Structures are given as C-alpha cells and as structure tokens.
Amino acid sequence: MMSTIVCIGSGNMGFALMKGASAGTNIFFTDTDAEKAQTAAASLGAKVIGSNTEAFEKGDYVFFAVKPQVLPQVLAEIAPAAQKRFNSSFPPVIVSMAAGWTIEKIQKTIGVKLPVVRIMPNTPALIGRGMLVLSASPEVPAEKISEIENFLGNAGIVDIMDERYMDAVTGLSGSGTAFAYLFIEAMADGGVRAGLPRDKALRYAAQTVIGAAAMIQETGTHPGELKDMVASPGGTTIAGIAALEDGAFRGTVIKAVEAAWKRSTELG
C-alpha cells in the first residue's frame, strides 16, 4: 500500500525531502503561503491541501518543515486531530526538523504520545548530498524507521543517533554548511587578491573543499595526517597554516559550532 506523506511547510528543506521521498508515495503540501505550496507541489507531481488539521488527518507521515518559532502554533492547531488519531488503528508518524524541539516536548504539546521522529538535515539535501541525522521515540515501529530512512536516503547520507546528541548535530552539520560556504567564499577572495579572476577563484576554492572532504571520507585518514602530507617544510602551505593559526582559525570554528549548539538548546 502506498504511503501518504504530508509536509507542513514548503520551503527549501521541506521541498528537498519531499523530492527524495516522492517515488512510490502520495505527497501533499500545506503552507500559509498557498502559492509557494502550489509551486512546490506542481514540480513534484504532488498536491496541496488547505489546512494543517487536514494534513494531520490525511498523512501516514506528517513532516513539520517549519521554523522552531512557528512550531507551537502548528502543534496547537493540529492537537485535536492528533488526539483523535492517537486512538485510531493507524496513528501517523510525526517527523520534525525544528531545531531544539525534543520528542518529549512535541508529545507534551499535542497532549498524546504519538510516534515522533526528530531529524536534522542540511541544505545539500537539495542536491541529494545532505547529511541527515534522525532519532525516534519508542512508539515508532522499526519498519516505520526503515521506511523513513528510505524516504530520506535520496536526499543524502542518513544516520541514526540518540536524541541527546541532536542539538550538537544541529550545531555541526545543520549549521555547518554555512560555515563551509563562508570558508569557500573567503578562499575565493584570497585567490582574487592574489590575482585570479573571480569565477576561476570560486571554482577552484569549491573544488578544493569538495576534494579535501572526499579524501577524508574515502581514505578514512585523519585530517591532521592529510594536512601534514601537504605541508612540506618551509613551503607555501605551512606559511598559510601559520596565518590561519595567527587568526585563531581552529578555535574560532570550534566556537562557531558551540554557539550554534547553544542556540539550538535555547530554541527548545
């Protein structure tokens, strides 16, 4: 039997995950911006429904693709339908990507212990290269977890993690793409300062980071060891590393992840 997935929210991340899940499923979107929902649905051959309550009544899986600040309003709206479906033979599985919102808090807010899966994707899911981490409540059957893994698998790498780590995941992979974009932009700016054309500098910087990441993934070698392979005595690379360390590069990156992690806990 074909599963029905309803996505509350049709922004970039909701669209990316529904794009990955679209094969062999019935997809529906709902959004306060009806035009945006219609555009997302049309590009996937999906449909739009009129309200969050209807979404909860219809879906086998209900994805919350909304900001943490919006989630209380959504949960209050769907609470009556959630309580009704809790007593049905086939309760839906809630899949939330709202930073900071724990499974327990979602269940308490709607007033019933429906099955809840908490996920943290990142923006490369838009091109099928994301990092997606999930945690599930005890109420989620193993076969449902497997099905959600299949839904998400087309959007990138999926990993199951104990929920106590989810705020740290948010700080690292959830927010970390923006840190990587900033680094690539800065690398390209350095290339321009050294005389390269802007388009070439950006292309070289992006590919350099892609290649470096692939080296870690494919060889399993520690990044410190790979760094040492490039940094020959008295050479250009060690001169550049020294400049980075003068700017407290590693310490600043650590603080960036820590700040994002702390903010995730605050949003909860």
Assign domain 169-267 to its CATH architecture.
Answer: Orthogonal Bundle (1.10)
DSSP 66-119: S-TTTHHHHHHHHHHHHHHHHTSSSPPEEEE--TT--HHHHHHHHTS---EEEE
Give the integer Cα–Cα distance in Å for 47 and 55. 11
Please state the domain extents for the chain.
Answer: 3-161, 169-267
Give the integer Cα–Cα distance in Å for 61 and 91. 9
Q: How high is the mean pLDDT in each 10-residue block of the chain (268 residues)?
A: 86 88 81 90 90 87 93 92 83 93 95 95 93 96 93 93 96 97 98 98 98 97 97 96 96 97 92
Q: Which fold has domain 3-161?
A: Rossmann fold (3.40.50)
Confidence (pLDDT) at 23: 66
Per DSSP, which regions of the chain are E strands?
3-8, 25-30, 47-48, 61-64, 93-96, 116-120, 130-136, 156-160
| Among candidate residues 94, 101, 129, the one with its CA nearest the CA of residue 115 | 94
